[in-house]
Amino acid sequence: MTDLPPWQAPGGGAAATPWEHPAPAPGSAGAGAPQAGWAPPPKPGLVPLRPLGFGTLFGATFQVLRRNPRPTFGAALLLVGLVQLISVGLVFGATFWGLDRELRATAEDSEAIQIGNGALLIVSTLVAVALSLVASALLQGLIVLEVSRATLGEKLRMRELFQRGRGRWGALIGWTVLLSLALVAAFVALIAVITLLVAVGQEAGLVAAVILGIGGGLGLLVLAIWIGIKTALVPTAIVLERLPVRASIARSWRLTAGRFWRTFGILALITVIVQAASSAVATPFTLAAALGIGLLNPAQDETTALVAVGVLYVVTIIVSVVVGAIGAVLLSAATALVYVDARMRDEGLDLDLQRFVEERAAGREGPDPYHERAALVPGSPSSSFSPPVTGTVA
């Protein structure tokens, strides 16, 4: 006889969930008493413990920022701000230092200094990109952990979230770097083929280069979106189920099967909202600063013009940091909620979460509900991981 999951009754019907109260049989002791009937599923925290509709998922994504702002928006603002500050410092420092060297160089050393300045600028840019990838991975892991605990009604501090994710940050950063390198390698390969066709110099080669550039660019964009959606749950599996990178990729592939457009829709909608909000916030500052600079005469008041340009640049950076932090939190939260919803629908995670909440209310510490089924996933650790809950219950 095939074993049925605990949320499915024999015969193909659905078993009564803990929040459904079946009517007593005729003639029983409680047959004449008034019945409560169906009760809504419990909601100990961020979302009700049932499969999430699109509206619930979308609304909960924005509630993550409001519910526990310090380890969400605070962490995002800190990480994005530091990366932006260091990146600007590295790139501008390398640029100005290189220009200063070039202006003071002799004619014999000018060419060598130009090559060195170019190499220095490339290295500083690569360092800035690497810092951005690391910060993005850390932030996504923090938000995933926050959403997972918020679903259970817990509020953890940033230090507690970092402790809960210990041992997984390296794998998370490695996955982020690996995915970025794969996309860059595909883009570089396309550019190399187009350059080779152009170098041939014949008319057929130029036509082929144009066709390949348009078709290949669109195809690469579609491929990147498809792979991005299919692997969107990899960071969540790495952090919550503590799976290796390879097993996390397979896990994400299975959980997104049949949910591509749903996942794409929620992530695309949030991206559009963030971009629209960014434009709405930044446009007034840009127009006002541009109008003010246009009214100035740099030939007569060069200092004022430079100060206005500097203020415009600083305001632009501040706006981009704030909006970028909000967008990063929303996208990471939406991805984590998509993961929770997928496991609720496929594996009955909602029942595991409810059981955990009930045991916690009774004073018993149960296993981590997000990790207790991980032993069933190929490549996962055999032992269950259940760090102590140190956060407050909201």
**What letter represents residue 263's amino acid?**
T
pLDDT at 389 (0 to 100):
44
On the CB side of 182, how many CA atoms lie within 13 Å of its CA? 12
Q: What is the pLDDT of residue 335?
A: 94
* Blockwise average pLDDT, block size 10, the chain, 394 residues: 44 42 47 54 87 90 89 89 85 78 72 77 84 90 93 90 90 92 90 84 78 88 92 94 93 92 91 84 70 59 66 77 88 94 91 90 84 52 42 56
DSSP state of 8: B
Q: At 106, list the tokens.
A: 């002799």
> In this predicted structure, what is the pLDDT of residue 23?
44
Report helix, strand or coil for 22: coil
Query: What pLDDT is attached to residue 303?
Result: 67
Which of these, 351, 83, 368, lies nearest to 240 by C-alpha position?
368
Distance of CA 159 to the CA centre of its chain: 20
Those residues whose C-beta lies under 8 Å from the C-beta of residue 271, and which sit 6 or more positions away, are 327, 331
Contact 296, 308 (CB under 8 A): yes
Of 197, 224, 192, nearest in space to 209 by CA: 197
SS3 (DSSP) at 64: helix
Q: How many CA atoms lie within 13 A of 104 on its CB side?
A: 6
Q: What is the pLDDT of residue 373?
A: 56
Torsion angles phi and psi, residue 298, rounded to 5 = -55, -30
